[in-house]
C-alpha cells in the first residue's frame, strides 16, 4: 500500500463538477495520470471539521500505525469507549478513509492525507 495518498479539498458543487468535466476531457483526449488520484471533497470547512474531528484524526493515525485491527483492540489502544470508536470508524469508513478487510478488521490504506484549504474564493 506504499505511496497511496488521498487529497481532501473544500469545493462547491459547481467547482467539483467543473474539475470533473476538465478531467473527463483530458481522459477523452488520451491523457492518463501517472498514478491514480483519490479525492474527497467537502462543501465547506465546518462540514469537513464535523467529519474529521481531532479524535477521528487520532484514530486514523493510530490505525495506520497498528495496521489491521478490530474496533475492540483500537478502543483499548486509544483508551476510548468502544461505542465511540465504533461510531468514528464507521463514519471514516463511509468517507473512504478507513476500509475493512475480509476478516472484518479495519485498516487505513493511505500513507498520506493531503488537505487543501483555500482562504479566498
What whole-number distance in Å separates Cα of residue 62 and Cα of residue 95? 18
Q: What is the pTM of this model?
A: 0.80
Q: What is the mean pLDDT of residues 92-103?
A: 95
In angstroms, the CA 99 to CA 90 distance is 9
Environment class of residue 24 by beta-carbon count within 10 Å: exposed (0-12), middle (13-18) or buried (19+)? exposed
pLDDT grade for 71, boundaries at 50, 70 and 90: very high
Judge contact between 40 and 6, C-beta under 8 A. yes
Range 21-46 average pLDDT = 86
* CB-based contact 73:67 (threshold 8 Å): no
The architecture in CATH of the region 5-116 reads Orthogonal Bundle (1.10)
pLDDT at 41 over 50: yes
pLDDT of residue 73: 96
Average pLDDT over residues 55-73: 94
Confidence of residue 81 (pLDDT cuts 50, 70, 90): very high
Q: Between β-strands 5-10 and 112-116, what pairing exists: parallel, antiparallel or unpaired?
A: parallel
Q: Are 69 and 106 in contact (CB under 8 A)?
A: yes
In this structure, what C-alpha cell is assigned to residue 112? 498520506
Segment 82-88 shows an average pLDDT of: 97
Amino acid at each position: 500500500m506504499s505511496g497511496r495518498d488521498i487529497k481532501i479539498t473544500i469545493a462547491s458543487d459547481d467547482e467539483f463538477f467543473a474539475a470533473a468535466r476538465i478531467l473527463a476531457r483530458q481522459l477523452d483526449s488520451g491523457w492518463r495520470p501517472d498514478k491514480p488520484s483519490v479525492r474527497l471533497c467537502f462543501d465547506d470547512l465546518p462540514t469537513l471539521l464535523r467529519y474529521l474531528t481531532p479524535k477521528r484524526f487520532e484514530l486514523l493515525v493510530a490505525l495506520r500505525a497498528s495496521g489491521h485491527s478490530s474496533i475492540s483492540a483500537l478502543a483499548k489502544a486509544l483508551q476510548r469507549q468502544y461505542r465511540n470508536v465504533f461510531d468514528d470508524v464507521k463514519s471514516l469508513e463511509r468517507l473512504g478513509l478507513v476500509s475493512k478487510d475480509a476478516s472484518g478488521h479495519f485498516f487505513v490504506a493511505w500513507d498520506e492525507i493531503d488537505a487543501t484549504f483555500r482562504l479566498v474564493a
